[in-house]
Protein backbone atom coordinates (compact mmCIF):
# COMPACT_ATOMS: atom_id res chain seq x y z
CA UNK A 1 0.00 0.00 0.00
CA UNK A 2 1.42 3.33 -1.07
CA UNK A 3 1.46 6.08 1.52
CA UNK A 4 2.37 9.78 1.54
CA UNK A 5 4.54 9.21 4.53
CA UNK A 6 4.05 8.46 8.15
CA UNK A 7 3.16 11.27 10.59
CA UNK A 8 3.97 11.41 14.20
CA UNK A 9 1.00 12.21 16.40
CA UNK A 10 2.35 15.68 16.95
CA UNK A 11 2.94 16.25 13.24
CA UNK A 12 -0.53 15.09 12.38
CA UNK A 13 -2.03 17.31 15.08
CA UNK A 14 -0.16 20.33 13.72
CA UNK A 15 -1.41 19.50 10.22
CA UNK A 16 -4.97 19.40 11.49
CA UNK A 17 -4.36 22.69 13.31
CA UNK A 18 -3.14 24.36 10.12
CA UNK A 19 -6.23 23.21 8.27
CA UNK A 20 -8.66 24.28 10.99
CA UNK A 21 -7.09 27.62 11.87
CA UNK A 22 -6.70 28.92 8.32
CA UNK A 23 -10.33 28.52 7.37
CA UNK A 24 -13.45 30.58 7.99
CA UNK A 25 -13.85 29.56 11.63
CA UNK A 26 -11.80 32.44 13.04
CA UNK A 27 -13.29 35.66 14.41
CA UNK A 28 -16.58 33.84 15.02
CA UNK A 29 -19.45 34.74 17.34
CA UNK A 30 -21.00 31.70 19.02
CA UNK A 31 -24.05 31.53 21.28
CA UNK A 32 -24.16 29.04 24.12
CA UNK A 33 -24.35 28.31 27.84
CA UNK A 34 -21.40 28.26 30.26
CA UNK A 35 -20.59 25.01 32.06
CA UNK A 36 -17.55 23.50 33.82
CA UNK A 37 -16.17 26.99 34.44
CA UNK A 38 -12.72 27.27 36.04
CA UNK A 39 -11.04 30.56 36.92
CA UNK A 40 -7.42 29.38 37.13
CA UNK A 41 -4.94 31.03 39.47
CA UNK A 42 -2.84 31.81 36.42
CA UNK A 43 -5.52 34.25 35.33
CA UNK A 44 -6.77 32.10 32.45
CA UNK A 45 -10.44 31.07 32.30
CA UNK A 46 -11.47 27.63 31.10
CA UNK A 47 -15.05 26.58 30.38
CA UNK A 48 -17.32 24.57 28.14
CA UNK A 49 -19.76 26.33 25.83
CA UNK A 50 -22.72 24.11 25.13
CA UNK A 51 -26.24 23.93 23.79
CA UNK A 52 -28.70 21.04 23.92
CA UNK A 53 -26.97 19.20 21.09
CA UNK A 54 -23.24 19.82 21.41
CA UNK A 55 -20.41 21.36 23.39
CA UNK A 56 -17.19 23.27 22.71
CA UNK A 57 -14.08 23.62 24.86
CA UNK A 58 -13.06 27.25 25.39
CA UNK A 59 -10.17 29.13 26.92
CA UNK A 60 -9.93 32.87 27.64
CA UNK A 61 -6.37 33.90 28.35
CA UNK A 62 -5.76 36.44 31.10
CA UNK A 63 -4.78 39.27 28.75
CA UNK A 64 -8.24 39.08 27.19
CA UNK A 65 -9.88 38.44 30.56
CA UNK A 66 -8.76 41.84 31.84
CA UNK A 67 -11.42 43.45 29.67
CA UNK A 68 -14.18 41.09 30.72
CA UNK A 69 -17.27 43.11 31.70
CA UNK A 70 -18.55 40.56 34.23
CA UNK A 71 -17.57 37.29 35.86
CA UNK A 72 -18.62 34.03 34.29
CA UNK A 73 -21.00 31.72 36.12
CA UNK A 74 -22.21 28.19 35.49
CA UNK A 75 -25.40 28.21 33.44
CA UNK A 76 -24.90 31.75 32.13
CA UNK A 77 -26.04 32.32 28.56
CA UNK A 78 -23.44 34.22 26.58
CA UNK A 79 -22.15 35.27 23.17
CA UNK A 80 -18.45 34.57 22.73
CA UNK A 81 -16.06 35.89 20.11
CA UNK A 82 -13.06 33.75 19.34
CA UNK A 83 -10.78 31.86 16.99
CA UNK A 84 -10.64 28.12 16.45
CA UNK A 85 -7.46 26.49 17.72
CA UNK A 86 -6.05 23.03 18.37
CA UNK A 87 -4.52 22.14 21.71
CA UNK A 88 -1.64 19.93 20.58
CA UNK A 89 -0.96 18.20 23.88
CA UNK A 90 -4.41 16.61 23.99
CA UNK A 91 -5.21 16.69 20.31
CA UNK A 92 -8.50 18.48 20.80
CA UNK A 93 -9.81 21.59 19.17
CA UNK A 94 -10.91 24.53 21.29
CA UNK A 95 -12.03 28.10 20.94
CA UNK A 96 -9.63 30.85 22.00
CA UNK A 97 -12.07 33.44 23.33
CA UNK A 98 -11.33 37.16 22.96
CA UNK A 99 -14.61 38.65 24.13
CA UNK A 100 -17.73 37.54 25.98
CA UNK A 101 -21.07 39.29 26.24
CA UNK A 102 -24.25 38.37 28.09
CA UNK A 103 -26.92 36.92 25.83
CA UNK A 104 -30.40 38.19 26.61
CA UNK A 105 -31.92 40.64 29.07
CA UNK A 106 -31.60 38.32 32.04
CA UNK A 107 -27.88 37.86 31.56
CA UNK A 108 -27.37 41.61 31.09
CA UNK A 109 -29.06 42.27 34.42
CA UNK A 110 -26.95 39.55 36.01
CA UNK A 111 -23.77 41.17 34.71
CA UNK A 112 -25.07 44.56 35.84
CA UNK A 113 -25.67 43.29 39.39
CA UNK A 114 -22.26 41.61 39.48
CA UNK A 115 -20.41 44.81 38.61
CA UNK A 116 -22.63 46.91 40.86
CA UNK A 117 -21.85 44.72 43.87
CA UNK A 118 -18.14 44.62 43.02
CA UNK A 119 -17.78 48.38 42.78
CA UNK A 120 -19.90 48.94 45.86
CA UNK A 121 -17.58 46.70 47.86
CA UNK A 122 -14.62 48.76 46.62
CA UNK A 123 -16.30 51.94 47.87
CA UNK A 124 -16.84 53.62 44.49
CA UNK A 125 -20.42 54.50 45.44
CA UNK A 126 -19.56 55.85 48.90
CA UNK A 127 -20.72 59.41 49.68
CA UNK A 128 -17.27 60.02 51.16
CA UNK A 129 -15.86 60.09 47.63
CA UNK A 130 -18.49 62.43 46.17
CA UNK A 131 -17.04 65.77 45.10
CA UNK A 132 -19.18 68.83 45.86
CA UNK A 133 -20.59 70.81 42.95
CA UNK A 134 -19.40 74.40 42.57
CA UNK A 135 -22.34 76.69 43.34
CA UNK A 136 -21.53 79.33 40.72
CA UNK A 137 -19.70 77.55 37.88
CA UNK A 138 -18.10 79.54 35.08
CA UNK A 139 -17.77 76.71 32.57
CA UNK A 140 -19.79 73.51 32.09
CA UNK A 141 -18.36 70.55 30.19
CA UNK A 142 -20.95 68.48 28.31
CA UNK A 143 -20.26 64.98 26.97
CA UNK A 144 -23.11 63.59 24.91
CA UNK A 145 -24.16 62.86 21.36
CA UNK A 146 -24.19 65.84 18.98
CA UNK A 147 -27.49 64.59 17.58
CA UNK A 148 -30.79 64.16 19.36
CA UNK A 149 -32.58 66.22 21.99
CA UNK A 150 -30.15 65.79 24.89
CA UNK A 151 -27.71 68.53 23.93
CA UNK A 152 -30.57 70.88 22.97
CA UNK A 153 -32.32 70.32 26.30
CA UNK A 154 -29.15 70.98 28.29
CA UNK A 155 -28.29 74.16 26.39
CA UNK A 156 -31.87 75.45 26.66
CA UNK A 157 -32.03 75.00 30.43
CA UNK A 158 -28.57 76.49 31.00
CA UNK A 159 -29.39 79.49 28.81
CA UNK A 160 -32.62 80.13 30.68
CA UNK A 161 -31.38 79.60 34.22
CA UNK A 162 -27.79 80.83 34.35
CA UNK A 163 -25.87 81.44 31.12
CA UNK A 164 -22.33 80.05 31.36
CA UNK A 165 -19.60 79.01 28.97
CA UNK A 166 -20.24 75.57 27.49
CA UNK A 167 -17.46 73.19 26.47
CA UNK A 168 -19.08 70.46 24.36
CA UNK A 169 -17.30 67.25 23.37
CA UNK A 170 -19.20 65.06 20.89
CA UNK A 171 -19.45 61.60 22.40
CA UNK A 172 -20.69 58.26 21.14
CA UNK A 173 -23.18 57.07 23.75
CA UNK A 174 -24.45 53.82 22.21
CA UNK A 175 -22.89 50.90 20.40
CA UNK A 176 -19.55 49.13 20.37
CA UNK A 177 -17.44 52.31 20.35
CA UNK A 178 -19.47 54.09 23.07
CA UNK A 179 -17.39 52.86 26.01
CA UNK A 180 -14.10 54.11 24.59
CA UNK A 181 -15.69 57.39 23.46
CA UNK A 182 -17.18 58.12 26.90
CA UNK A 183 -13.90 57.43 28.69
CA UNK A 184 -12.01 59.56 26.17
CA UNK A 185 -14.43 62.49 26.62
CA UNK A 186 -14.14 62.37 30.43
CA UNK A 187 -10.35 62.38 30.24
CA UNK A 188 -10.33 65.20 27.69
CA UNK A 189 -12.61 67.38 29.82
CA UNK A 190 -10.39 66.78 32.83
CA UNK A 191 -7.61 68.58 30.95
CA UNK A 192 -9.73 71.73 30.68
CA UNK A 193 -10.83 74.40 33.15
CA UNK A 194 -14.42 73.15 33.29
CA UNK A 195 -16.03 73.39 36.74
CA UNK A 196 -18.62 70.64 36.24
CA UNK A 197 -19.12 67.84 33.69
CA UNK A 198 -22.55 66.69 32.53
CA UNK A 199 -22.45 63.16 31.12
CA UNK A 200 -25.76 62.52 29.40
CA UNK A 201 -27.87 60.63 26.94
CA UNK A 202 -31.55 59.92 26.47
CA UNK A 203 -33.39 56.91 27.76
CA UNK A 204 -33.40 53.46 26.26
CA UNK A 205 -33.26 49.77 26.93
CA UNK A 206 -30.59 48.15 29.03
CA UNK A 207 -28.80 47.23 25.82
CA UNK A 208 -28.89 50.87 24.66
CA UNK A 209 -27.53 52.12 27.98
CA UNK A 210 -24.99 49.36 28.43
CA UNK A 211 -21.92 51.54 27.80
CA UNK A 212 -22.78 53.40 31.02
CA UNK A 213 -22.65 50.07 32.88
CA UNK A 214 -19.08 49.32 31.84
CA UNK A 215 -16.41 49.12 34.54
CA UNK A 216 -13.93 51.32 32.64
CA UNK A 217 -16.56 54.07 32.41
CA UNK A 218 -17.31 53.77 36.13
CA UNK A 219 -13.62 54.09 37.01
CA UNK A 220 -13.15 57.04 34.64
CA UNK A 221 -15.99 58.84 36.43
CA UNK A 222 -14.58 57.94 39.85
CA UNK A 223 -11.09 59.16 38.93
CA UNK A 224 -12.29 62.45 37.44
CA UNK A 225 -10.92 65.48 39.30
CA UNK A 226 -13.93 67.49 38.05
CA UNK A 227 -17.34 66.70 39.59
CA UNK A 228 -19.55 64.74 37.20
CA UNK A 229 -23.35 64.81 36.98
CA UNK A 230 -24.72 61.63 35.44
CA UNK A 231 -27.81 62.22 33.33
CA UNK A 232 -28.43 58.88 31.69
CA UNK A 233 -31.89 57.69 30.77
CA UNK A 234 -35.17 58.57 32.38
CA UNK A 235 -36.32 58.70 36.01
CA UNK A 236 -36.62 54.93 36.45
CA UNK A 237 -33.36 53.95 34.72
CA UNK A 238 -30.27 53.63 36.92
CA UNK A 239 -26.87 52.80 35.48
CA UNK A 240 -23.54 52.08 37.15
CA UNK A 241 -22.50 55.59 36.06
CA UNK A 242 -25.35 57.03 38.14
CA UNK A 243 -24.06 55.35 41.30
CA UNK A 244 -20.44 56.42 40.81
CA UNK A 245 -21.08 60.00 39.69
CA UNK A 246 -20.88 62.88 42.16
CA UNK A 247 -24.53 63.72 41.44
CA UNK A 248 -27.29 61.94 39.57
CA UNK A 249 -30.04 63.59 37.54
CA UNK A 250 -33.07 61.71 36.22
CA UNK A 251 -32.92 63.57 32.89
CA UNK A 252 -30.43 65.78 31.02
CA UNK A 253 -32.66 68.81 31.67
CA UNK A 254 -32.60 68.06 35.38
CA UNK A 255 -28.81 67.78 35.21
CA UNK A 256 -28.60 71.31 33.82
CA UNK A 257 -30.84 72.52 36.65
CA UNK A 258 -28.59 70.86 39.21
CA UNK A 259 -25.41 72.25 37.62
CA UNK A 260 -26.31 75.95 37.85
CA UNK A 261 -28.45 78.19 40.06
CA UNK A 262 -31.55 80.00 38.80
CA UNK A 263 -30.72 83.63 38.07
CA UNK A 264 -34.34 84.66 38.79
CA UNK A 265 -34.11 83.07 42.23
CA UNK A 266 -30.73 84.75 42.75
CA UNK A 267 -32.21 88.13 41.78
CA UNK A 268 -35.11 87.66 44.18
CA UNK A 269 -32.71 86.56 46.91
CA UNK A 270 -30.52 89.62 46.38
CA UNK A 271 -33.63 91.82 46.48
CA UNK A 272 -34.70 90.27 49.78
CA UNK A 273 -31.20 90.76 51.18
CA UNK A 274 -31.27 94.40 50.10
CA UNK A 275 -34.63 94.95 51.78
CA UNK A 276 -33.34 93.26 54.92
CA UNK A 277 -30.22 95.45 54.85
CA UNK A 278 -32.28 98.62 54.46
CA UNK A 279 -34.55 97.54 57.34
CA UNK A 280 -31.56 96.82 59.54
CA UNK A 281 -30.03 100.22 58.73
CA UNK A 282 -33.28 101.98 59.49
CA UNK A 283 -33.52 100.25 62.84
CA UNK A 284 -29.88 101.13 63.53
CA UNK A 285 -30.46 104.82 62.73
CA UNK A 286 -33.62 104.86 64.86
CA UNK A 287 -31.71 103.32 67.77
CA UNK A 288 -28.92 105.91 67.40
CA UNK A 289 -31.45 108.75 67.36
CA UNK A 290 -33.08 107.37 70.49
CA UNK A 291 -29.68 107.06 72.13
CA UNK A 292 -28.82 110.67 71.27
CA UNK A 293 -32.14 111.79 72.69
CA UNK A 294 -31.32 109.98 75.92
CA UNK A 295 -27.94 111.67 76.01
CA UNK A 296 -29.52 115.09 75.53
CA UNK A 297 -31.95 114.36 78.34
CA UNK A 298 -29.08 113.29 80.59
CA UNK A 299 -27.22 116.57 79.77
CA UNK A 300 -30.30 118.58 80.84
CA UNK A 301 -30.34 116.79 84.18
CA UNK A 302 -26.64 117.56 84.58
CA UNK A 303 -27.24 121.26 84.07
CA UNK A 304 -30.07 121.14 86.61
CA UNK A 305 -27.73 119.44 89.09
CA UNK A 306 -25.14 122.16 88.53
CA UNK A 307 -27.74 124.84 89.27
CA UNK A 308 -28.89 123.07 92.45
CA UNK A 309 -25.27 122.61 93.53
CA UNK A 310 -24.58 126.33 93.09
CA UNK A 311 -27.67 127.15 95.15
CA UNK A 312 -26.57 124.69 97.83
CA UNK A 313 -23.10 126.24 97.91
CA UNK A 314 -24.64 129.69 98.38
CA UNK A 315 -26.80 128.47 101.23
CA UNK A 316 -23.82 126.67 102.74
CA UNK A 317 -21.94 129.95 102.60
CA UNK A 318 -24.70 131.68 104.46
CA UNK A 319 -24.73 128.95 107.08
CA UNK A 320 -20.97 129.13 107.43
CA UNK A 321 -21.30 132.85 108.08
CA UNK A 322 -23.37 132.24 111.21
CA UNK A 323 -21.71 128.99 112.18
CA UNK A 324 -19.84 128.94 115.53
CA UNK A 325 -16.95 127.34 113.73
CA UNK A 326 -16.96 130.18 111.32
CA UNK A 327 -16.87 132.63 114.20
CA UNK A 328 -13.91 130.80 115.74
CA UNK A 329 -12.08 130.87 112.47
CA UNK A 330 -12.31 134.66 112.48
CA UNK A 331 -10.46 134.87 115.88
CA UNK A 332 -13.31 134.70 118.32
CA UNK A 333 -13.56 132.25 121.22
CA UNK A 334 -16.16 130.60 123.41
CA UNK A 335 -15.68 130.72 127.20
CA UNK A 336 -16.96 127.95 129.44
CA UNK A 337 -16.89 128.08 133.25
CA UNK A 338 -15.37 125.01 134.84
CA UNK A 339 -15.97 122.50 136.06
CA UNK A 340 -19.53 122.42 134.73
CA UNK A 341 -18.68 123.99 131.38
CA UNK A 342 -21.34 126.63 131.76
CA UNK A 343 -21.33 129.13 128.93
CA UNK A 344 -19.95 132.50 130.09
CA UNK A 345 -22.01 135.29 128.57
CA UNK A 346 -21.49 137.99 131.22
CA UNK A 347 -18.96 139.01 133.83
CA UNK A 348 -21.62 138.14 136.30
CA UNK A 349 -21.18 134.49 135.38
CA UNK A 350 -17.71 134.27 136.93
CA UNK A 351 -15.87 135.26 140.01
CA UNK A 352 -12.23 135.76 140.86
CA UNK A 353 -10.22 132.52 140.99
CA UNK A 354 -12.82 130.66 138.84
CA UNK A 355 -11.31 128.41 136.23
CA UNK A 356 -12.55 128.82 132.68
CA UNK A 357 -11.96 127.04 129.33
CA UNK A 358 -11.69 129.21 126.24
CA UNK A 359 -12.43 127.39 123.05
CA UNK A 360 -10.59 128.76 120.00
CA UNK A 361 -10.38 127.52 116.36
CA UNK A 362 -7.50 125.13 116.99
CA UNK A 363 -8.04 124.03 120.63
CA UNK A 364 -8.78 125.05 124.25
CA UNK A 365 -7.16 127.47 126.66
CA UNK A 366 -7.49 126.67 130.39
CA UNK A 367 -7.05 129.73 132.67
CA UNK A 368 -8.09 131.35 135.98
CA UNK A 369 -10.05 134.59 136.43
CA UNK A 370 -7.80 137.20 138.08
CA UNK A 371 -10.21 140.07 137.81
CA UNK A 372 -13.28 141.27 135.89
CA UNK A 373 -14.22 144.70 134.58
CA UNK A 374 -17.56 145.85 133.31
CA UNK A 375 -17.58 147.55 129.87
CA UNK A 376 -20.31 149.17 127.88
CA UNK A 377 -19.98 148.01 124.20
CA UNK A 378 -23.24 149.36 123.00
Residue 312 lies in a domain: no
Q: Are residues 21 and 68 in the same domain?
A: yes
pLDDT tens digit sequence for 182-203? 999 999 999 999 999 999 988 7
Structure confidence at residue 5 (pLDDT): 74
Is residue 279 one of the residues assigned to a domain?
A: no
Same-domain status, 97 and 157: no
Q: What's the CATH number where 213 sits?
A: 3.40.50.10550
| Same domain assignment for residues 31 and 91 | yes
More confident: 143 or 329: 143
CB 46, CB 59: distance < 8 Å: yes
234 with 338, same domain: the answer is: no
Confidence of residue 210 (pLDDT cuts 50, 70, 90): confident
Residue percentage of the chain with pLDDT more than 70: 93
Q: Looking at the predicted structure, is the pLDDT value of residue 4 above 70?
A: no
Q: Is residue 153 part of a domain?
A: yes
Specify the range with the lowest mean pLDDT, choosing from 71-75, 91-95, 177-181, 265-269: 265-269
Query: Helix, strand, coil % (nearest 5) of the chain?
Result: 40, 25, 35
Q: What is the pLDDT of residue 322?
A: 67
Most confidently modeled range among 135-149, 273-287, 324-338: 135-149
Residue 115 is assigned to a structural domain of this protein? no
Q: Which of 205, 239, 261 is at the close of a domain?
A: 261
| Within a domain: 304 | no
Q: Please, what is the average pLDDT of the chain?
A: 85
Q: How many helices (H) and strands (E) does the chain have?
A: 10, 14
pLDDT at 93 over 90: no
**Domain end among 215, 234, 261:** 261
Q: Same domain, yes or no, for 186 and 232?
A: yes
Task: Report residue 325's pLDDT band, with 50, 70 and 90 as the boundaries.
Answer: low
Considering the domain architecture, whether residues 159 and 210 belong to the same structural domain is answered as yes
Q: Does 241 share its domain with 342? A: no
Same domain, 90 and 151: no
137 and 257 in a single domain? The answer is yes
| pLDDT of res. 244 | 96
Better-scored residue on pLDDT, 124 or 93: 124
- State pTM to two decimals: 0.58
In a domain, 276, yes or no: no
Same structural domain, 150 and 250 = yes
32 vs 8, higher pLDDT: 32
For residue 114, is it within any domain? no
Helices within 22-104 (DSSP H only):
62-65
Number of structural domains in the chain: 3
- Say which CATH number the domain at 16 has: 2.40.50.140
The CA distances from residue 176 to 155, 181, 205, in Å, are 27, 10, 15
Same domain, 157 and 95: no
Instruction: Establish whether the linkage from the previous residue to 339 is cis, with ω within 30° of 0.
Output: yes
- At residue 236 the predicted structure's pLDDT band, cuts being 50, 70 and 90, is low
Indicate whether 286 belongs to any domain: no
Distance CA(240)–CA(126), nearest Å, equals: 13
The per-residue pLDDT for 1 is 43
Kindly state whether residues 49 and 97 are assigned to the same domain.
yes
226 contacts 184 by C-beta, under 8 angstroms: no
Name the residue range of residue 187's domain.
133-261
Q: What is the pLDDT of residues 144-179, one digit of tens each?
A: 999 888 999 999 999 999 889 999 999 999 888 999
Question: Mind listing the pLDDT tens digit for each residue in 237-265?
Answer: 689 999 999 999 988 999 999 999 988 88
Q: What is the pLDDT of residue 323?
A: 66
Q: End of a domain among 83, 103, 123?
A: 103
Burial per residue of 157-178, b for 16 or more beta-carbon CB atoms within 10 angstroms, e otherwise: bbeebbebebbbbebbbbeeeb
Amino acid sequence: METKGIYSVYEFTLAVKRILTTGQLNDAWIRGEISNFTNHNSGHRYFTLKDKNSQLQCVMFKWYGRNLRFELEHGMKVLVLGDLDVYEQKGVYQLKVRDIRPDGIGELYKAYEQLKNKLAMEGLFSPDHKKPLIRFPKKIGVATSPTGAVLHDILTVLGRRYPVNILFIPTVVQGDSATESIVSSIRALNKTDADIIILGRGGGSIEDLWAFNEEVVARAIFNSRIPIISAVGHETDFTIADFVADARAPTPSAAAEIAVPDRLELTNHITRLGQRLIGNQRRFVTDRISHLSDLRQKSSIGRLIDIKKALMDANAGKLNAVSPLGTLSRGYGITLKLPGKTLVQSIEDVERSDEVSIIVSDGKIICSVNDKEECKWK
